[in-house]
Amino acid sequence: MDNEEKYLDISRKLKNLEPVKASDNFVHNLHSKIVEIEAEKRLEHEKKFDGDRGGFLKNLFGNMQYPWLVPAAGFTVLIFFVFYITFLNKNASENNQPLLSDQKTDISKQSNPPAEQNKTSETGNDKTLTGKENLPGKDIAGDLKTEKNERNPSITEEKKQYTDREETGYNKMELKAAQPEKNKDRSDAKNDEIKDFAKKENEPDIIENNGMIATEPQTGESSVSTESVTSNEPEVKLKSKGPENDSLKKKLDDKLRRINKSNLEKIREEILK
C-alpha cells in the first residue's frame, strides 16, 4: 500500500491518458483478412482433396483415417495371392497326372504282345471308336464324307491309299513299341499279327449279332478318313433303324471287308519286306 500511495500521482496520470481507440475500418480490415485466410484454407483443402483423388491407396482406405489398415490389408492380399497360386498349381498338377497316366497306359497297351492285343482287340477298337466319337461334329462330317466318297470313287481310292499309309505307319509304330517284348521271337509275332488280322476278317458276324459297331475289328486304330466314315455311318443307321435294314448291313459289311482286305494285304507286304 505504501508503494501505491507513493506513486499515486504517476499512476493517476497514466490512467488519465487519453485512450486510443481502433480506427473505423479496423473491423472491416480484420474481416477481409479473415476472409483471405478462409479462402487460403479452402484452396489448401481442395488441393489436398485433389491429391487424395489420384491415389489408389487413398481411395481404398479413405482419407487415411485408418492407416493401421494398410499393413493388415496388404498382408491379407498377400495371403490370398499365395493361396491362389498354390491352389492353381495343385489343380494343374492334378490335371497333368491323369494325362500322364493315360499316356502310360497307352504305351503299355502298345507294348503288349500281339496275343494280348488280339484278346483285347475288341476293347481296343472300342477305345479308338470312342476316341473318334469324341471328335466334335464327327457324325455330320462322316455323313458328308461318305456321300462325297460315293459320288467320287477316285477320291475314295486316294483316301484309302492315304489311310493305308497312315495305318501302316501306325502299325510300324505299334511294332516298334512292342519291340522290347518281341525281340525273342519276331517272326512269331509277325505271324501272330497276320493271324489276328485274318481272324478279324472272319469276325463281322459278331457285329451283326451284337448290332454294335464298336466291336468291328476292321477299323484301324489310326484310320481317320474312310474307315472312320465307314464305322460311324452304319452305327447311326443301325441304332436308328435296328435289324430291319439287313441290306444296309450287308453293304456295310462288304465295304468293311474290302477295306480290311486291302489293309491286310498292304500290312502283309510291309511285314514281309
Partner 1 sequence: MPGKLNPDLNYKNLTDEELILEFQKEDVNAFNEIVYRYKDRIINFLYRYTSSREESEDIAQEAFLRLYKSKHLYREIGKFSTWFYTIAINLAKTHLRHKKNYRTISINNYDENEEKDYELTANVIAPDESANASNENYYIQKAINALNVKFKEVVILRDIQELDYEEISKITKLPLGTVKSRINRGRECLKEMLEQIYKPKQI
Q: Note the residues at the interface with partner 1 (CB under 8 A).
A: 3, 7, 9-11, 13-15, 17-23, 26-27, 29-31, 33-35, 37-38
The rounded distance, in Å, linking the Cα atoms of 12 and 16 is: 6
Cβ-based neighbour number of residue 168 at 10 Å: 18
Minimum distance from residue 15 beta carbon to partner 1 (Å): 6
Which of 155, 151, 262, 216 shows the shortest CA–CA distance to 233? 216
Which of 273, 267, 269, 225 shows the shortest CA–CA distance to 114? 267
Closer residue to partner 1, CB minimum distance, 11 or 202: 11
Minimum distance from residue 62 beta carbon to partner 1 (Å): 23
Which of 270, 107, 99, 100 shows the shortest CA–CA distance to 181? 107
Minimum distance from residue 31 beta carbon to partner 1 (Å): 6
DSSP track, 71-93: HHHHHHHHHHHHHHHHHHHHHHH
Minimum distance from residue 11 beta carbon to partner 1 (Å): 5
Q: Which residues contact 45 (CB under 8 A, 6 or more apart)?
A: none
Closer residue to partner 1, CB minimum distance, 10 or 140: 10
Closer residue to partner 1, CB minimum distance, 38 or 185: 38
